[in-house]
Structure 1
Amino acid sequence: MKILVLNGSPKHEKSDTMHITRAFLDGMKEAAPQEIRIVDIIDKHIEYCTGCFTCKRNGGKCIHNDDMKELLSEVLESDLLLFSYPLYCYGMPAPMKAFADRTMPLSSMAMKKQGDRYVHVGQANFSHLKFMMICGCGFPNSKQNFEPAVMQFKLMFPNNHTIITVPESPMFNAPEAAEVTVPRSELVKQGGKQYAETGEIDEKLLAEICSPMIPEDVYAEICNKEM
């Protein structure tokens, strides 16, 4: 499988969330050989979308001459598009949001009804693509936290999507937390292997991966002591 990983964290490989993503990819590689390319979005030149819709009217050509043209080509050549990012203000970090906004050239101005909503008709064929979101955050709670980002991702990619959200993710960068992070990484790895083999993750395993690693109040107390 050809996998394009979009790392939305400005921390590059030191991203808390990328620890989770790498464990998932390791699991996938255990199941079968994978062709993986990781792109640090923060390092790419991506201008903000101006909403001019030129791209939707002229076959996908954007007014900006930056790295998005190459990135969109890589997207269309991939089998799995994996968004890995920390939760910023209940959504994507700004550089990744800029990337998402600039995917406009993939669709045209024409609209069609899909289910109970209208969507733009595609200018490119990406029906083969699968989509994954792996998102971590520094809060201990799973609920009343990830919902906006999850809903956005589901609306962006209504088909073939898988979503992993992990609270307490800064612990993956703390060696002293290995007692709980190593077993959780193994669960994530198991999820990656399962996904590579079947195209999905068992609901029970997914729920376990997305749950807090230690009691919420204990985690909050540890974080407050380190301030």
Structure 2
Amino acid sequence: MKILVFNGSPKKDKSDIMHITRAFLAGINEKISPEVKVINVIDSHIEYCRGCFTCKLNGGTCVYDDDMKMILPEIIASDLLIFNFPLYCYGMPAPLKVLVDRTLPLSSMRMKWDGNRYIHVGQADFSHLHYLMICGCGFPNSRNNFEPMVAQFKLLFPQNHTIITVPESPMFNVPEATGVTQPRLELVQKAGKQYAERWEIDDELLREIGSPMIPEETYAAIVNSNAC
């Protein structure tokens, strides 16, 4: 299995979310030995898409000569794309959104009816690809926080997608919180092992991973006590 991780956090390896991703990859490693590449998106030179559609009309070549020229072939060559990022204003951080925008060369101008909507026809075969979203937020719970990003991810990748959301994620970078974060990382590792076995994770396990690690009111009080 070839895994390409897009780390969307500006904090790179020190991000809260990378703790979760590393635990997930550890679970996969219990079953198989994947080839893993991590791209810290903040370090990549990726220009903003200007919507000229040149790529869709000339077979997939973008007018920009930047890092996407190397990233696009790596996407096609992968089996699993992991989008790892903190929730920013109910969506993904800007550098990662720019990268997603610049995947436009992978589709053509042609459209087809697919289920209940029109989609662009791909300029490559994506049937082998699987997509995983790992997203954390600083709120005490998942309600009315992740829904916009979850909806966007499902629209972007309607097939073969899996979504992991984790509230209270800043605690993963707090050594004093290890007593509650370590058990949660163990659940994530279990999820990685399941995923390696069958490309999916039990719904109950996903709900457990997405539940608050400490009571909501306690977490909010801790955050407020440290607020300026």
Query: Which position in structure 1 is the counterpart of 2:125?
Result: 125
Deviation, 1:41, is 0.3
Residue 46 of structure 1 is matched in structure 2 by 46
Deviations 1:25-50 (A, max 9, x none): 00000111111100000000000000
Give the corresponding residue for 1:32. 32
Are 1:107 and 2:107 counterparts? Answer: yes
Q: Which residue of 2 aligns with 1:147?
A: 147
Amino acid at match of 1:142: S
Q: Any idea what the Cα deviations from partners look like across 1:114-167, whole Å, max 9, x if unmatched?
A: 011000000111111000000001111201000010000000000000000000
Q: Is 1:10 paired with 2:16?
A: no
Q: Give, in whole Å, the separation in 1 of the partners of 2:222 and 2:31.
A: 37
Q: Distance in 1 between matches of 2:101 and 2:199?
A: 27
Which residue in 1 is equivalent to 2:199? Answer: 199
| Equivalent position of 1:86 in the other structure | 86
* Equivalent pairs, count: 227
Tell me the SS of whatever aligns to 2:30. Answer: helix
Cα deviation, residue 226, structure 1: 1.3
SS in 2 for 1:113: strand
Instruction: Calculate the TM-score normalised by the size of structure 1.
Output: 0.99
Residue deviations 1:26-76, cap 9 Å, x none? 000011111110000000000000011000000000011100010011100
Q: For residue 135 of structure 2, what is the aligned residue in structure 1?
A: 135
Report 1:64-75 matches (<5 A).
64-75=64-75
Aligned alpha-carbon RMSD (Å): 0.5
1:169 maps to 2:166:
no
Structure 1 residue matching 2:133: 3-state secondary structure = strand
Whole-angstrom CA distance in 1 between matches of 2:54 and 2:11? 33
Unaligned regions of 5+ residues in structure 1, if any?
none
> Match for 2:58: what amino acid?
N
Q: Which runs of 5+ in 2 are unaligned?
A: none
Question: Counterpart of 1:95 in 2: which secondary structure?
Answer: helix
Q: Which residue of 2 aligns with 1:58?
A: 58
TM-score (normalizing by structure 2): 0.99
Which contiguous aligned blocks of 4+ residues in structure 1 show a shift greater than 2 angstroms?
none
Q: 1:102 is aligned with what amino acid?
A: R
